[in-house]
Amino acid sequence: MDFISDPQVLLAALGPWVVPGVALVLFVESGLLFPFLPGDSLIFTAALLHEEFGFGVWTLVVVGIIAAFLGVQVGYWLGAKFGRRLFTDDARILKTEYMERAEEFFDKWGAVSLVLSRFVPIVRTFVPLAAGIARMDYKKFVFYNTVAAIAWVGLMTILGLTLGQIDYVRNNIDVIAILIVLISVAPMGVAWLRAQLQKRRANRAAA
């Protein structure tokens, strides 16, 4: 599973199918209930190395936005069609815990959660399902999904192009990829710590 920690390995393995491969990863991670794919770091690395792999950066942007958008549309449909029946407490991937976290995120931020969750691994995979389960107004959903896809792919591409000019970044892509993942999951870590502190306070108050 080296490609998860080092997107450069995945890009190299795709050979001439780099762009379709990136599109497939973004599509699957965005809505097909497999959250452990390197979406952020993959876009970043693909933008940084687009000349080396022989494709235009605008091709990456357009294809990436379309793939991310369609993936989330599928996620909404799955949520509306099947609801929470897809999730169980003891599942390896479709854990009830993940769905509950996404629903909390959706309840807190509303439609804007579709944009914000794009930058939070795992949560971004399940928020579209939460929107489908909640039967969010479809026109509003499509609008925010469009904004989210453009913002996510656009920002990651810009970061790859700009930071790629720095020698250290270009020579240590694997380290940067891990750093991007850590920064992305930081909000989840903070939320977990807050929840633990609240539980401790509640337990002390009840004692």
- Where do we find the tokens 């792919």? 153
Q: 9-31 pLDDT, tens per residue?
A: 888 888 889 999 999 999 999 98
Enter the pTM of the model: 0.80
pLDDT at 96: 86
Burial per residue of 80-90, b for 16 or more beta-carbon CB atoms within 10 angstroms, e otherwise:
beeeeeebeee
User: What confidence score (pLDDT) does residue 180 get?
Assistant: 61
What are 95's strand-pairing partners?
A: 88
Q: Which pLDDT score is estimated for 150?
A: 96
pLDDT value at 146 more than 90:
yes
Contact (CB, 8 A) for 135 and 80: yes
Q: Report the alpha-carbon distance of residue 118 to residue 129 in Å, rounded.
A: 13
pLDDT digits (tens, 9 = 90+) for 120-144: 888 888 999 999 999 999 999 999 9
Q: Residue 154's pLDDT band (boundaries 50, 70, 90)? A: very high
Does residue 66 or residue 3 have the better pLDDT? Answer: 66
Total number of domains in the chain: 1
Distance CA(158)–CA(11), nearest Å, equals: 18
Query: Which amino acid does the sequence have at 196?
Result: Q
Mark 145-162 as b/e (b = at least 16 C-beta within 10 Å). Answer: bbebbbbbbeebbebbee
Domain of residue 54: give its range: 2-206
Mean pLDDT of 90-116: 86
Q: Give the residue among 13, 18, 39 at the shortest CA–CA distance from 157.
A: 39
Distances (CA, A) of 100 to 94, 121, 127: 11, 15, 10
Sequence-ordered list of residues with C-beta below 8 angstroms from that of 153, at least 6 positions apart, any chain: 26, 43, 60, 61, 64, 65, 68
Question: What's the pLDDT score for residue 203?
Answer: 67
Kindly report the average pLDDT of the chain as a whole number. Answer: 82
